[in-house]
Structure 1
Amino acid sequence: MSTGAAADGGVHDFGCRGGDPAASAVSGRVSGTGEGKVRSLAWNQGTTLLRAWRAGVLPRRKKLLMTNTNAPSSAASLGLLVLRVVVGAIFAAHGAQKIFEYTIPGTIGSFADMGVPLAEIAAPVVAFVELIGGILLILGLLTRPVGIVLAIDMAVALILVHLPAGLWVGDGGYEFVAVLGVAALALALTGAGRFSVDGAVLRGRAPAWLS
């Protein structure tokens, strides 16, 4: 079989089975017909998808997929429950320690010694924020705003008190408050999950940023 360039720039068979021009012509027509079928099939598929999109079928399927994806699974909610309980218990314990063990006057003196501005105001505010915020995290109530407040609390403690001491907590460093702050921020971003007061009571009745 031999080939050659045609005037239109394409390549066509000039010979087939001993150079029979008729056979070559038939082969060209069959090849052209197959190409036409492929183009017709692609066109039909494209128009079908376009009609489905205009009819609203595709957006509905996409919306369903997004809803299923955004809904927390049972495993994810269980993980959030564990995180909330542990982090909330640590915050609540530190708040209770500042109030009942150190007492508010003792906490004020400690804050003043560490150079915290307005220690008379900051000490009781931080103590009650950590106690109440920790309890709310355990319950999974108002998780997003509580997580933001506790993350800010840890960020301020890191910057004002622990950052100059370096990383290690044994030297008074910031590793512990950094972990607590990031955990609180993560809960603020994810919400409480299904196994929470937010999930059982507020979901569907409150703005997403609240629960």
Structure 2
Amino acid sequence: MHMDKPVVRDGALLIVRIVLGVIFIAHSWDRFAITGITETTGRFSAANVPQPKLTSWIVAIAEGAGGALLIVGLLTTFVAGALMLMVALGLYFVHLDQGIFIDSTHMGMEYPLVMLCALLIIVVFGSGRASVDGVLVRAEL
């Protein structure tokens, strides 16, 4: 059985988009409702993130909106690219000097590296047919 069939690719892209979207929305919810913007700002400040208060708001909004757009598959390639940039900056400012593994004392690089790879799949292969982008492309034909 060949796995290189449009329906398999589109199904895999849908699953990756949904999982990524849920994760980003959960992080946004955490920044707004659980940890809070004030604590997030303090953590960003401790990590020497530039403009920590503004960055906290930008990240929280981008995670929520970007996650929702990934799930429905709207502006998917652009959104995944923007989220890649945000995750890469988080990797640089927060995770880079923490080692590879995440444990009780270190925020290692493994999580952001996996997120970057998953987002790269979306950037390279697009949203697939099971998306708003896919419907809009077919409507143009």
Same structural fold, with TM-score higher than 0.5 when normalized by the shorter chain: yes
Q: CA deviation at 1:200?
A: 1.3
Q: 1:90 aligns with which of 23, 27, 47?
A: 23
Percentage identity across aligned positions? 36
Map residues 58-137 of structure 1 onto 2, 5 A cutoff: 73-137=6-70
Q: 1:174 aligns with which of 86, 90, 109?
A: 109
2:43 partner SS: helix
TM-score, with normalisation over the residues of structure 2? 0.89
* Equivalent in the alignment of 1:200: 135
The reply to whether residue 164 of structure 1 matches residue 97 of structure 2 is yes
Structure 1 CA distance, aligned partners of 2:73 and 2:15?
Answer: 11
Structure 1 CA distance, aligned partners of 2:138 and 2:107?
Answer: 40
Structure 1 stretches lacking a partner, 5+ long:
1-71, 206-211
Structure 2 stretches lacking a partner, 5+ long:
none
1:77 partner SS: helix
Structure 1 CA distance, aligned partners of 2:111 and 2:50?
Answer: 22
Structure 1 CA distance, aligned partners of 2:138 and 2:39?
Answer: 41
Question: Could you tell me which amino acid in structure 2 is paired with residue 108 of structure 1?
Answer: T
TM-score, with normalisation over the residues of structure 1? 0.61
Structure 2 CA distance, aligned partners of 1:150 and 1:91?
Answer: 9
2:74 partner SS: coil
Structure 2 CA distance, aligned partners of 1:81 and 1:201?
Answer: 16
Q: CA deviation at 1:85?
A: 0.5
Structure 1 CA distance, aligned partners of 2:39 and 2:107?
Answer: 19
Question: Could you tell me which amino acid in structure 1 is paired with residue 99 of structure 2?
Answer: G
Structure showing greater relative contact order (alpha-carbon pairs closer than 8 Å, 6 or more residues apart): 2
Q: CA RMSD in A?
A: 1.6
Which has the larger Rg? 1
Question: Could you tell me which amino acid in structure 2 is paired with residue 94 of structure 1?
Answer: H
Structure 2 CA distance, aligned partners of 1:202 and 1:132?
Answer: 22
Question: Could you tell me which amino acid in structure 1 is paired with residue 126 of structure 2?
Answer: G
Instruction: Give the aligned length.
Output: 135
The reply to whether residue 155 of structure 1 matches residue 120 of structure 2 is no
Question: Could you tell me which amino acid in structure 2 is paired with residue 149 of structure 1?
Answer: A
2:135 partner SS: helix
Q: CA deviation at 1:164?
A: 0.3
**Once the two structures are superposed, what CA deviation does each residue of 1:27-49 show, in whole Å capped at 9, x if it has no partner?**
xxxxxxxxxxxxxxxxxxxxxxx
Q: CA deviation at 1:117?
A: 1.3
The reply to whether residue 191 of structure 1 matches residue 126 of structure 2 is yes
Question: Could you tell me which amino acid in structure 2 is paired with residue 110 of structure 1?
Answer: R
Q: Structure 1 runs of 4+ off > 2 angstroms?
A: 201-205
